[in-house]
Amino acid sequence: MQAPAKIVVIKLGSGVLTHGDRVALDGEQFENIVAAVSGVLRSGYRPVVVSSGAVAAGLMAFKMDSRPDDMATLQACAAVGQARLMHFYESLFRLEQINVAQLLVTYSDFATEGRCENVKRTLDRLLAFPDVVPIVNENDSVSTEELKFGDNDALSAKLAVLAGAEKLILFTGVDGLHDFDDPDEGAIIGVVDDVEAVMGLASDEKGALSVGGMQSKLLAVKLAVDAGIETVIASGYRPEQLGELIAGGGRCTRFRVPVEGVPGDGEPL
């Protein structure tokens, strides 16, 4: 069996899966996200969801009201929370008559050819089944890269490259990249053709349960765009526009893959 060609990787950060900065998963958000992803699957794309949220789910299970500082407790929260996180996804996708598959990876899985090929082989086989949505997360219970450095941003880009995805959607807490020099006081930049040109606009602000700011997202964007994958940063609080984002519309910042000799439309940076 061959994996289908129209793959879209959808990354969901902790912030958009929880009630603000409180320690609780947002059930309504999950319902809206699952409905949107299910619609994308039925439209002919093969969605792969890269989901944070395991630590937040573990904090909820342990009745903690703030994110702990020590790594061992964070990893314990991730170990408990991953099961709860997958329960949310499995229960909701089952109502859509869609199966989910859990795929836990580490950054080391992308570092060696053999392990990287194992991940790709598993993902390709999962995507060969028409009713499966893979749910990917970093294996925080044994790995610490995401817990220390990023909210699955780099992982989602690496996975998109490995899967040969057509698009990467980074759902975050804002509508896109803000241009604070704009007279509209922070208007969203619609189209970017040069990621390097907008690096200076990135804020590294984070929520209490999030470990990845806009800078980490732009680094992930560059990795994906350099590999030929159009990437979008959009608000995870508007998951209903997912299909529109994939089709080329929606409220977002769209990072296009440069094509030599082909002029852009509009006024991208």
- pLDDT given for residue 185 in this prediction: 55
Question: CATH number, domain at 62?
Answer: 3.40.1160.10
Residues facing residue 187 across a β-bridge: 179
Residue with more model confidence, 134 or 178? 134
- Is the model's pLDDT at 147 over the cut of 50? no
- pLDDT given for residue 93 in this prediction: 98
| 5 pLDDT tier (thresholds 50, 70, 90) | low
**Number of domains the chain contains:** 1
| β-pair type (230-235, 253-255) | antiparallel
| Token pair in block for residue 165 | 């995805």
Give the Cα separation of 250 and 191 in Å (integer).
12
Say if 261 falls within a structural domain.
Answer: no
Say if 161 falls within a structural domain.
Answer: yes
Say if 49 falls within a structural domain.
Answer: yes
Say if 42 falls within a structural domain.
Answer: yes
What is the reported pTM? 0.87
Handedness of CA 262, 164, 191, 221 (dihedral sign): negative
Give the residue-averaged pLDDT of 51-66. 85
Give the Cα separation of 139 and 144 in Å (integer).
8
Say if 18 falls within a structural domain.
Answer: yes
Q: What one-character-per-residue DSSP string does 75-123 give?
A: HHHHHHHHHHHHHHHHHHHHHTT-EEEEEEE-GGGGTSHHHHHHHHHHH
| 268 pLDDT tier (thresholds 50, 70, 90) | low
Say if 260 falls within a structural domain.
Answer: no
Neighbouring CB atoms inside 10 A of 5's CB total: 11
Handedness of CA 6, 237, 18, 219 (dihedral sign): positive
Say if 220 falls within a structural domain.
Answer: yes
Give the residue-averaged pLDDT of 133-146. 74
Residue with more model confidence, 267 or 165? 165
Say if 265 falls within a structural domain.
Answer: no
Domain region containing 92: 7-255
Give the Cα separation of 156 and 98 in Å (integer).
22
SS (H, E, C) the chain: CCCCCCEEEEEECHHHHECCCCCCECHHHHHHHHHHHHHHHHCCCEEEEEECCHHHHHHHHCCCCCCCCCHHHHHHHHHHHHHHHHHHHHHHHHHCCCEEEEEEECHHHHCCHHHHHHHHHHHHHHHCCCCEEEEEEECCCCCCHHHHHCCCHHHHHHHHHHHCCCEEEEEECCCCCEECCCCCCCEECCEECCHHHHHHHCCCCCCCCCCCCHHHHHHHHHHHHHCCCEEEEEECCCHHHHHHHHHCCCCCEEECCCCCCCCCCCCCC
Residue with more model confidence, 64 or 234? 234
